[in-house]
Structure 1
């Protein structure tokens, strides 16, 4: 059957159209590979190799991938082998540094030291407080090289931006004549190194970490500027009922708070005699009746000196507020921020409603405390006179090996070394009471204080000892922090404390304000080897005689002698942070609290 040419032409056109739409058949395997490539390009998954084409990279992927044909145990063994190979190429010092860095990072994982309100709202202060004080012109115009020469002469180390210049005379610090009369009355004729640099820093409104050995005049360096700020505010806008305070000083013990309070009282008295307005200051510590100071509370407060527990109680009861408070000083700050006090300090900060100038002072300020404290400070200036945690070089340190049963008898012989007054420290309350009773039986005029005694007994003991009515004060560590006994020539450590920081604070009760003193310490087999190694290094640093019993101790830090600085956690020179007894004790305490159902640390060494 023949067809017309037109029909054949139409059929040829249809065939051409069908050929254009034709899709060749693709085997299933190829389609799967194409689909995998598409997914791989989207997820950056390496493309698998084709069969019969082995490759090293493919082998590695198969070995490490989730569908590898090697078990997880074998993979873990392989990873450990690889790590051992890497570690074998590192030196012992590099390994030690890595280990210490990991420990410090774990310790540093704590909340910022700031108020809850500031943390919640994300408030961050970037500029320090401003004050009306400026150094005299002749000091401002002095060359930077001259400032550095003064710091070098007084062995002052400073860190921070735009550090105020050091000033060598009180008169150049622009204090009123009444304050100069007070200083002359106290026998203070020129600033100590911490005051040369510390006073200008505080007067300029800068946040500060002040580190200096015991007896170097730190209390004056933070209490005098507070009196000046409070006086300036009172002259501008007198406080009325319910207002204040302008500033606060928080101390770890009642005795230290009272001593600071009495020093401020003397300054205020000299100001009143010269016609300045009366400043009202409040002592806020446990064991005393606050009703005795009701007149201060009712008229408005300029200055509060407190221990953390009673201060928290007063703030919670709204006896006063911190709306006008622009100045906060933590004395013995390493104890205030350390275990047990950290939450108290943060709670106190939560009552501030605006920025404040924050000062931290101590003789022992390990690096971990400095790093942690910076979170509460704005562009801080760190003023360091000597190494943090170093012993006072004006103290002659004598260490004697005495058997446990012979210590109390040997005390009488030690008391013959120097004339009274003498201070004896013991680690626990029972030993304090036993020593006190023994000395009384032997006819020695002695008094005793520890945390278990009433506030009235404690105040009587301190007062009688300071007024030279008693020759010997037997005390636990409540008397080791910051208390000023200017005429003590001899401190006896009946036992070696568990932490080297406490030893430094104890012996610092003598050799104060440029005077020399003697510290005798009893050691025996009951002392831990770790603390004895710290003592050995401390004696060497101070160029003191090291007894043979300490010299004979094997020192594990010898192989890391190229690493300077000792423990970054507690400041001890005889061990590294990986062997720190203080850190170990804190971890055990935390684990104990958790096992007992508590979530946090117990209060350690603090007072209400």
Structure 2
């Protein structure tokens, strides 16, 4: 027992108890002791002072202030900063946030390029060079030409403007073709980088010009020249091609472009040049009819997105040699729901290509989308993007909904035929067509619900002046060429101001025309404000019913310049944009239905 008690006494003896210290800590303490012994007294004082400062930093200046009080203080500080900002600055910040939220995040590139992180930094190389006398001309002279034709150009290393086709080094056969069409000199969109020059020089570009300014010729002519050059170097054989491709949003526009290129090809063949094989790839026609073209090498493909995707998926041809891609009416194509198709088409490219995007309207959102696919792009803008043709006399008339179809007959008396009438839906197109036929007016109609044969017959008979009036939905509002239209009637005010540009079907190639637009209480206030500002910009008469509208841009946002950065409308800001609201509602609808959704546009 004594031994056990002695043992407990030793354990309970606090004076003799020594706690265990790990070997690592003992070594560190010994090392620190040696370091301190080697320091001079002055250094020791500095180290101690630094340690005190470090401790104070760890604590923080608001260590004794609660998080709730700190949050209240931050909120007060933000309120003070906001009070200093003007209403205009707040509005701009809000709009910037909205644009960032709707901005396109995904690049427009092929899957292979995205997967491997391939980024092209240099433009395509071509053999074409401008004449020496143009290259040596002073820059002031180039700027004077652009100002004369109201051309706005943005980008790096901009090619010089060329005012004559002969200076573009086209062969005599092409000059004969142009003369046969009554085209003696380039239009503004063709003059400079004018689309032809950028196309010939290999530059990616965004071309924006009002309807009827010659955009189709601007991109199809240089493509023909490049395809011809490639075939002369090394003729294509079965399974090869295309060399270039033009994608259009509608069948009618694709066929019109196809026929234009075929006409150029005929003039080249007559002068002894090789025959170019051109494939029309659209819905509503049998591809078996073009088997001869498919069985040999294809030089050029003109297509709508749906049928083109179908042909690529079935491996009827490939894009291994394709170096040029043109998206005609690019904004229209994206709005019609073809964005995913365009991205899928891009995935079939295996090499760098020259990409061109053309349209009469291209809001900033679409331009940002386009830049993701282009290399050092040049933006060519003839007039403001979305502005109406200044050669058109614009008349806006207030007509009650039930009186519009009767008032059409009176409007038709303003000018001689041919006349175009646009309506927003298919039923109205059919009703107007039947009414005009009953009244003895020679009229035809087209819309998306008609067969391809019916649509082609209507377009052909109207172009050949066999019919006086063409009643159409938006199928005919973009790109189609009707050179001698005297009068355009908007039976319905478009829901988006971008589509108001379809009045440019008249007043083409320097000629004047008349456009009449019906408005009434069924039109939204936003679209009427946009129309009001558009009329003022074009120096047209503004009717009293539009003048009487309350205009927030003139009352609340006087300090802000421009209009909506999303759709380009001049009468509202992006926060009140009807197009953006419509897209949001559509997205919410798709989500509520469990995803999917229907693709718009045509096959």
- Normalising by the residue count of structure 2, what TM-score does the alignment of the two structures yield? 0.89
1:184 aligns with 2:179: yes
Of the three residues 539, 553, 556, the one matched with 2:552 is 556
The corresponding residue for 2:11 is: none
Count of residue pairs brought into register by the alignment: 554
CA distance in structure 2 between the partners assigned to 1:232 and 1:471 by the alignment: 42
The corresponding residue for 2:449 is: 452
SS in 1 for 2:358: strand
Quote how far apart the aligned CAs of 1:116 are: 1.3
The corresponding residue for 1:6 is: none
The corresponding residue for 1:522 is: 518
Quote how far apart the aligned CAs of 1:86 are: 2.0
The corresponding residue for 2:569 is: 572
Quote how far apart the aligned CAs of 1:298 are: 0.2
Contact 2:104-2:369 within 8 A present in 1 as well: no
Of the three residues 260, 265, 269, the one matched with 1:268 is 265
1:496 aligns with 2:493: yes
CA distance in structure 2 between the partners assigned to 1:109 and 1:203 by the alignment: 29
1:516-568: per-residue Cα shift (whole Å, max 9, x none)? 00000000000000000000000000000000000000011113233222111
Of the three residues 296, 301, 305, the one matched with 1:304 is 301
1:482 aligns with 2:479: yes
Quote how far apart the aligned CAs of 1:117 are: 1.2
The corresponding residue for 2:540 is: 544
Q: Which moved more, 1:330-339 or 1:508-517?
A: 330-339
Contact 2:429-2:472 within 8 A present in 1 as well: yes
The corresponding residue for 1:155 is: 150
The corresponding residue for 1:594 is: 591
1:134-533 paired onto structure 2 within 5 Å: 134-197=129-192, 198=194, 199-338=196-335, 340-504=337-501, 506-533=502-529
Of the three residues 49, 63, 66, the one matched with 2:66 is 63
Contact 1:338-1:369 within 8 A present in 2 as well: no
CA distance in structure 1 between the partners assigned to 2:156 and 2:73 by the alignment: 50
SS in 2 for 1:88: helix
Quote how far apart the aligned CAs of 1:80 are: 4.2
The corresponding residue for 1:7 is: none
- Normalising by the residue count of structure 1, what TM-score does the alignment of the two structures yield? 0.88
1:88 aligns with 2:93: no
SS in 2 for 1:400: strand
CA distance in structure 1 between the partners assigned to 2:178 and 2:479 by the alignment: 19
Contact 1:244-1:320 within 8 A present in 2 as well: yes
CA distance in structure 2 between the partners assigned to 1:313 and 1:76 by the alignment: 58
Q: Residue 524 and residue 45 in structure 1: after superposition, are their counterparts in 2 closer, same or farther (change >3 A)?
A: farther
Quote how far apart the aligned CAs of 1:238 are: 0.4
Contact 1:570-1:582 within 8 A present in 2 as well: yes
Contact 2:320-2:350 within 8 A present in 1 as well: yes
The root-mean-square deviation of aligned C-alpha atoms, in Å, is 1.9
Q: Point out where structure 1 has 5 or more consecutive residues left out of the alignment.
A: 1-19, 22-36, 50-55, 65-69
1:99-133: per-residue Cα shift (whole Å, max 9, x none)? 01101111114211111111111000000000000
Q: Which moved more, 1:83-92 or 1:443-452?
A: 83-92
Quote how far apart the aligned CAs of 1:200 are: 1.2
Contact 1:339-1:586 within 8 A present in 2 as well: no
Contact 1:499-1:531 within 8 A present in 2 as well: yes
Quote how far apart the aligned CAs of 1:282 are: 0.6
CA distance in structure 2 between the partners assigned to 1:334 and 1:221 by the alignment: 18
1:496-528: per-residue Cα shift (whole Å, max 9, x none)? 010001111x20110011110000000000000
Contact 2:164-2:185 within 8 A present in 1 as well: yes
Contact 1:400-1:520 within 8 A present in 2 as well: yes
SS in 2 for 1:397: strand
SS in 2 for 1:47: helix
CA distance in structure 1 between the partners assigned to 2:455 and 2:335 by the alignment: 25
The corresponding residue for 1:111 is: 106
Quote how far apart the aligned CAs of 1:82 are: 3.6
Quote how far apart the aligned CAs of 1:386 are: 0.7
The corresponding residue for 2:15 is: none
Contact 2:104-2:368 within 8 A present in 1 as well: no
CA distance in structure 2 between the partners assigned to 1:550 and 1:309 by the alignment: 41
SS in 2 for 1:424: strand
CA distance in structure 2 between the partners assigned to 1:191 and 1:422 by the alignment: 27
SS in 1 for 2:62: helix
SS in 1 for 2:252: helix
